[in-house]
A and B are shown apart, each in its own frame.
Chain A
């Protein structure tokens, strides 16, 4: 669906359902952005077809059935899988694309990575003011014209009609949140083989969505004791951790108002 609101807002908004997620693109530059949005959504559909574990003919499904060797896969697939391996090491094993059965599912990185590339498509087309959201993981650039900045709310984990913090910024930023309140317990601690207890959500902000998302997932899996302290040492990324007892930890540079 495309919603053009020429009298109220500049640019164009488009929403499509890809990778099992609503993808929202909100462009606030004047001018014709239809062609670049087509290119952007084509890219996301290609990512879905190539990486989905729900599609039998995706490269990931073929790798998991031993029909395709990792090194023979599409260069983009090889790049993503290598990055997953590096992130596993960097997060002490808390970000892990491997299931206990030995198959791989890189979707924890793919979403953020795909949106980073979608943002690059907009950048290359000369779009300066936009937001892209994939199921609540967001890249913003410029400002929400005619407003002076983008205002991004961090979902309140216990009350879906409220937000727990607001980030108002004109800095190009990626914002990712991992939590257990939306789709049930979908992040597991790989060491205890259980969903983490005592932690509601972790939000990580920085310049790249793929990394922010992977860090948020890993910190969430670490649980309430480790997560705040681990995020405090990240280089170039800031975090906000909400614990089940409603205590919120923010790293020194977390950019909310």
Chain B
């Protein structure tokens, strides 16, 4: 069950070759970006029901003179149809389907206790912590 779904996602990932067309001449660079949605075939996962995967692919075509470079990137993976008609399949879909949610990066300044981040310079971290402690003392 899990294996069939994994293969489905893998196929979707691997079917995106990066094409690098030839010839190098100096000229203006033109860039075209297109995003398209692709829906996979409805796959039966035996007795648990059916599953379908949709991906959004962003295709960037960069043309410099006669040199053309095409890159494709998956920018979203969703599972619009998944097995959920029995308690067991709901359980499986909650725990076993390796799917990803995609969204744009957000910035928020929220009320928090601590921040998880890549190892930070100690002084900035200590400063921020000190500020947090002071704030907490006033609260």
Chain A interface residues toward B at CB < 8 A? 3, 5, 7-9, 13, 15, 17, 20-22, 24, 26, 131, 133, 135-138, 140, 144, 147, 150-166, 175-183, 186, 201, 203, 224-225, 228-229, 232-233, 242, 246-254
Contact = CB atoms under 8 A, between A and B. Distances in A.
Of A175, A181, A224, A249, chain B has the most CB atoms within 10 Å of the CB of: A249
A178 B9 contact: no
B101 A252 contact: yes
Interface in B1-41: 6, 9-10, 13
Given A8-B136, A163-B107, A251-B99, 9 more contacts: A15-B129, A156-B105, A162-B108, A163-B112, A164-B106, A182-B120, A186-B119, A247-B75, A252-B94
A164 B105 CA distance: 7
Given A5-B136, A15-B126, A154 B97 contact: no
B114 A137 contact: no
Nearest to A251: B100
A247 B102 contact: yes
Contact of B116 (A147, A175, A248): A175
Interface residues of B, number: 43
A250 B108 contact: no
25 contacts: A3-B133, A7-B137, A8-B139, A9-B136, A20-B122, A21-B122, A135-B125, A150-B114, A152-B112, A156-B105, A159-B107, A163-B108, A163-B115, A164-B105, A178-B118, A179-B118, A183-B119, A203-B116, A224-B73, A229-B100, A232-B99, A233-B6, A248-B106, A251-B98, A254-B101
Contacts, number: 168
Given A5-B137, A233-B98, A246-B104, A26 B119 contact: no
> Most chain-A Cβ atoms within 10 A of its Cβ — which of B73, B98, B116, B125?
B116
Q: For the complex, would chain B's binding face be called helix, strand, loop or mixed by DSSP majority?
A: mixed
A135 B120 contact: yes
Nearest to B13: A229
B138 interface: yes
A136 B9 contact: no
A153 B98 contact: no
A138 B113 CA distance: 11
B109 interface: yes
Interface in B55-78: 73, 75, 77
Contacts of B9: 229, 232
B103 interface: yes
